[in-house]
Structure 1
């Protein structure tokens, strides 16, 4: 299998799902579209909780000790948040969404533009912060198959239908984020020739689960967290695991 096939399939399912969602969205009342978004928020919470439970991974405990895994997650999120805030990642993601919107749509100001940007940002975060993004892309790049990305593609396709029914074409624009991020991670896998140790992957997955909670809170309209600013936390986590392991 050629590396990158999984990302290509994922991109196609997002575009197909978004197209169906836009077609259906005009036929659904706003109350129904809001309910669909709420349901996605609840499902995202479930996925987030499942991912965050990797903090209890035996491999992670063996590498850093039984009391350190929670501290690694606790340290990764604020450190990553500080880095992301200084880099203004949330603002930059929103600017990218606005830039894409201006080039793919005619006019579109005020509420329409905000809805496009929100769809782009939320979809990009949901499609790109889960563990399958990292693990699947690396596995694909290493030549171990794209099964995980095919599963992610199916999930993202159904999610894109629901999101596009509420947010419109901004969801389809998020395919750019999917291609760039997953394509980059696939190339990293090709270059690395190996995967991160299991303990490091567990830490990345746990931190990714925490970030998905932030996405869920946005979908449920409970708190508009700047989740993009927290994304560097997934890079900080394996570094902290290695530091703590060296100190053992």
Structure 2
């Protein structure tokens, strides 16, 4: 789990640096930085989504996964967890928003999945080291506007990637290249939705769509 540990630490360091810089920036600079980042998130999500080999899988996965997520109300639970952190830290910054948005951005994607499997099976953390650099630098920018919640997103990253690494031998059978391609495509659409939310264009319950990433695995194996 070396790669996962480094990844989590990079987010904490980047987020901490971002908070220090953010306190020295005027609000208008924070706003334009956030808009630029949001556009980059849109681009990243769109590029990931185009990797699908069969859009039908994506359509039904989002439909079924969204209904499951709405039934469980994952979005509400994530915000409650973020709100709990906020109460512990005396309401510093937009903790719930930063925690939810960055947790989703950092956990979704091929680098997180493949890097964790590679680290677990081959003891090769190189992919996660590269991801750590990307996440660390983006955490600087996100934390300058979203605050402490960005640092706290290191927790789900550690748990998610760590579990994949520890169970690498088992999940490798299920997570074939075709499955990862579709999971990444679904994740890309969710990241695109996060970008839309950050730009305040709309308010999509991205958390409630999370089960789609698991549902698409069943569709690929079933058909």
Give the TM-score normalised by the residue count of structure 2: 0.94
Unaligned runs of 5+ in 2: none
Paired residue for 1:15?
12
Paired residue for 2:66?
81
Q: Does 1:119 align with 2:98?
A: yes
CA contact (8 A) 1:142 1:194 kept: no
Paired residue for 1:36?
33
Q: 2:184 aligns with which of 205, 213, 233?
A: 205
CA contact (8 A) 2:85 2:95 kept: no
CA distance in 1 between partners of 2:118 and 2:62 (Å): 25
Paired residue for 2:114?
135
CA contact (8 A) 2:82 2:100 kept: yes
CA distance in 2 between partners of 1:121 and 1:209 (Å): 16
Give the TM-score normalised by the residue count of structure 1: 0.85
Q: Secondary structure at the match of 1:150?
A: helix
Query: 1:148 deviation in Å?
Result: 1.7
Paired residue for 2:210?
231
Q: 1:150 aligns with which of 125, 129, 133?
A: 129
CA contact (8 A) 1:132 1:149 kept: yes
1:185-232 deviations in Å (ceiling 9; x for gaps): 222214446562221111111111111111111121111211111111
Q: Secondary structure at the match of 2:122?
A: coil
CA distance in 2 between partners of 1:75 and 1:137 (Å): 27
CA contact (8 A) 1:142 1:193 kept: no
Q: Residues 83 and 193 from structure 1, CA distance in 2 versus in 1: closer, same or farther, beyond 3 angstroms?
A: closer
Query: 1:144 deviation in Å?
Result: 5.7
Paired residue for 1:50?
47
Q: Residues 193 and 81 from structure 1, CA distance in 2 versus in 1: closer, same or farther, beyond 3 angstroms?
A: closer
Q: Residues 193 and 207 from structure 1, CA distance in 2 versus in 1: closer, same or farther, beyond 3 angstroms?
A: closer
CA distance in 1 between partners of 2:178 and 2:103 (Å): 26
How many residues are matched? 223
Paired residue for 1:59?
none
CA contact (8 A) 2:15 2:140 kept: yes
Whichever of the two has the greater Rg, that structure is 1
CA contact (8 A) 1:218 1:225 kept: yes
Aligned-residue RMSD, C-alpha: 1.6
Q: How do residues 82-121 of structure 1 correspond to structure 2 at under 5 angstroms?
A: 82-103=67-88, 105=89, 107-108=90-91, 112=92, 115-121=94-100
CA distance in 2 between partners of 1:191 and 1:72 (Å): 23
Q: How do residues 208-219 of structure 1 correspond to structure 2 at under 5 angstroms?
A: 208-219=187-198
Paired residue for 1:24?
21
CA contact (8 A) 1:47 1:209 kept: yes
